Structure 1
Amino acid sequence: MPALLDLWKKMSAVPMGNKAFSLAFAQKAPYFATIRPTFRVIEPNHVELTFPKRRAVHNHIGTVHAIALCNGAEAAMGALAEVTIPKDKRWIPKGMDINYTAKADSDITIIAETDPEQWAGDDPDLHVRVRALTKSGVECFDGVIKLWVTPKPAKA
């Protein structure tokens, strides 16, 4: 949706604008606020956000909890879908296939990506690739979030 991309471009161009945008985005789906995401890149087919490793997102061994990683991935995917989807289509998540590949022992960067041609076809199944990196660049999480993309119904 161009409105979200336009808002991002305006807000991220000013000091602390990405923080303000991230706070507003997290209020749209309040569960996202639990990880305190900060969007770093929002463009069609590519979104990056970070969130801090802090006690509220720890698991029993003191690393970032798996569900906090999933929450970050879903936030990044949602922003990606909104700024990438063609105007005549709508989307809804329908599943997630995730692999935990290393301990998430630092602040986290989440990356969500698609290819432009994925949005052009008629196949309603669309997979958004997601991954999480630790501060030192170790990939601690990868997978796909499955979307169901369909034409918008005609307005009555």
Structure 2
Amino acid sequence: MSQVYSLWRGLTRVPVVGTSVGARIFSLAFAQKAPYFATIRPRFTVLEPNHAELVIPKRRGVHNHIGTVHAIALCNGLEAAMGALAEATVPADKRWIPKGMDVDYTAKATSDITCIAETDPEQWTGENPDLPVRVKGVRDDGTVVVQGVIRLWVTPKR
């Protein structure tokens, strides 16, 4: 189990701390490890192998000129969700690095946005180093505002 996933499980399962407080502490720690993620103030809500979710709060600091969540803030949230998923899922004998991102903006991001990253278990066991992670951002009303794929390069550790 990776350090990231161990930290998530530890913080969200401690009865004294509670799931909500543990998730907030994890989110702050995660954003400190990769400081650019802190610009969107991610709030992780789900982290397990092959699935991660976080919320980008809609606030002035992530707005574009029309008052919606900026496209690059959305991509930042998708990449944070993907990174947490990858850390929680990658086999111990492999490593990963992002290789590219293809996204489509499908609606205005007019509320908090839930960023979701997903893979299938068998994707991590094959020999092909190209691993597509499905990502999407969803408004509070369920409307998908951004969707796409972040491609990873997964190779054996040396």
Tell me how far 1:2 sits from its aligned partner: 2.6
- State the partner residue of 1:122: 127
Which of 27, 51, 54 is the matching residue for 1:46? Answer: 51
Q: Which amino acid aligns with 1:49?
A: L
| Aligned-CA RMSD value | 0.8
Q: Aligned ranges for residues 2-151 of structure 1 at < 5 Å? A: 2-13=2-13, 14-15=17-18, 16-151=21-156
Between Structure 1 and Structure 2, how many residues are aligned?
A: 153
The list of structure 1 runs, each at least 4 consecutive aligned residues, that deviate by more than 4 angstroms after superposition, is none
Tell me how far 1:3 sits from its aligned partner: 2.3
Tell me how far 1:24 sits from its aligned partner: 0.4
The gaps in structure 2 that reach 5 residues or longer are none
Rounded Cα–Cα distance in structure 2 between residues aligned with 1:101 and 1:75: 20
Tell me how far 1:99 sits from its aligned partner: 0.4
Look up the SS of the partner of 1:149 in the other structure: strand
Percent identity over the alignment is 69
Question: CA deviation digits over 1:37-87, x for unaligned, max 9?
Answer: 010000000000012100010011110000000000000000000010011
The gaps in structure 1 that reach 5 residues or longer are none
TM value normalised by structure 2: 0.95
